[in-house]
Amino acid sequence: MLRQPVTTTLAPSPAGPYSQAIAANGFLFTAGQTPHDPATGDTVGATIGEQTVQAMKNLGAVLSAHGLDFSHVVKTTVHLHHPGRDFEGFNAIYEDFVDLPYPARTTVGSFLDDFLVEIDAVAAIPAPSPDLR
């Protein structure tokens, strides 16, 4: 199995020994993306809506670094600091970024320090087109 790291300066740098994403066996596996500004590291926004927008932008940047977008995403895992309070607000923003058929998704409650949401994704990498020369 060949593992190819994927990195971009348009999403926050890893805060530990992990990659922003790894491409392997026809899929891209992203690390959890948070609502942090990639340049400053500061948390963007105070509401679940504001923070979800930034986390999704960061996730989109990681996907884009491998030539993908949200249409390639087949599975997401969402961590909410306050799921009971923030589930509806999260969904309102999330559905602006993904289209039907929606990716499979798991949403869990997690202690997230000073932010409200973290999202990771698995995206299918399209097979190269055959050379028809």
Q: Tell me, what's the pLDDT at 89?
A: 98
CA–CA separation, 119 vs 98, rounded Å? 13
CA atoms within 13 A on the CB side of 119: 32
Instruction: Please tell me the distance from the alpha carbon of residue 8 to that of residue 6, in angstroms, as a whole number.
Output: 7
Domains by residue range for the chain, with CATH: 21-124 (3.30.1330.40)
Can you give the pLDDT at residue 122? 98
Report residue 34's pLDDT band, with 50, 70 and 90 as the boundaries: very high
Does residue 98 carry a pLDDT above 80? Answer: yes
What tens digit of pLDDT does each residue of 62-71 get?
999 999 999 9
> Mind giving me the DSSP string for 8-30?
-TTSPPPSSS--SEEEETTEEEE
Q: Does position 132 have pLDDT exceeding 80, yes or no? A: no
The pair of three-digit structure tokens given for residue 35, joined into one six-digit string: 């609502």
Give the residue from 97, 103, 101 showing the smallest Cα distance to 76: 103
Number of residues assigned to the chain: 133
| Region of residue 119 (left: phi > 0; alpha: psi -120 to 50; beta: else) | beta
Q: Residue 128: what pLDDT? A: 81
Q: Cβ neighbours of residue 30 under 8 Å, at least 6 residues apart?
A: 20, 21, 59, 62, 63, 120, 121, 122, 123
Residues 61 and 9: their CA atoms lie apart, in Å, by 9
